[in-house]
Amino acid sequence: MGATDMSILPYANQYVSELVAYKPGKPIEETAREIGMAPEQIVKLASNENPVGPSPKAVKAMQEAAARVNIYPDGASFAIRTKLAAQFGVGFENTAVGSGSSELIELLAHAFVKPGVEVLAADYSFTLYEIVTKLLNGRYISVPNKNTWTTDLEALAAAITPATRLVFITNPTNPVGSMVGQAEIDAFMTKVPESVVVVFDEAYLDFAEEKVDTVKFVKAGRNVCVLRTFSKAYGLAGARIGAAITTPVIADLLNKARSPFNVNSIIQAGVLAAMDDTEHLNHCISVIKSGRKQYEAAFAAWGIEYVPSHTNFILAKVGSGSEVFRACLQQGVILRPMDGYGLKEYIRISIGTEEENKRCLEVLGKVLGKA
Ligand X SMILES: *Cc1c(COP(=O)(O)O)cnc(C)c1O
Query: Are 140 and 129 contacting, i.e. CB atoms less than 8 angstroms apart?
Result: yes
Smallest distance, ligand X to C-beta of residue 204, A: 7
Smallest distance, ligand X to C-beta of residue 12, A: 25
68-83: string of b/e by CB count within 10 Å (b at 16+)? eeeeebeeebeebbeb
**Choice between 84 and 327, CB closer to ligand X:** 84
If DSSP codes are grouped into helix, strand and coil, which group holds residue 120?
strand
Query: Are 338 and 346 contacting, i.e. CB atoms less than 8 angstroms apart?
Result: yes
Nearest to 356 by CA among 41, 53, 55: 41
Query: Are 170 and 201 contacting, i.e. CB atoms less than 8 angstroms apart?
Result: yes
Smallest distance, ligand X to C-beta of residue 358, A: 25
Fill in the amino acid letter for 15. Answer: Y
- Cα separation, 13 vs 10, whole angstroms: 8
**Choice between 104 and 196, CB closer to ligand X:** 104
Distance of CA 28 to the CA centre of its chain: 20
Helix (H) or strand (E) holding 227: strand 224-229
Smallest distance, ligand X to C-beta of residue 284, A: 15
Smallest distance, ligand X to C-beta of residue 191, A: 23
**Choice between 81 and 359, CB closer to ligand X:** 81
Q: Count H helices and E strands in the chain, helices first.
A: 15, 12
- Cα separation, 188 vs 220, whole angstroms: 15
Residue partners of 259: CB distance under 8 A and separation at least 6: none
HSE, CB side, 13 Å, CA atoms: give it for residue 280: 22
Give the residue nearest to ligand X (CB): 100
Residues that bind ligand X in the complex, under the rule CB under 6 A = 48, 100-102, 126, 170, 174, 201, 203, 229, 231-232, 237, 242
Smallest distance, ligand X to C-beta of residue 121, A: 10
Smallest distance, ligand X to C-beta of residue 303, A: 29
Residue partners of 60: CB distance under 8 A and separation at least 6: 273
Smallest distance, ligand X to C-beta of residue 260, A: 19
**Choice between 118 and 201, CB closer to ligand X:** 201
Exposed (0-12), middle (13-18) or buried (19+): which is 101, by Cβ within 10 Å? buried
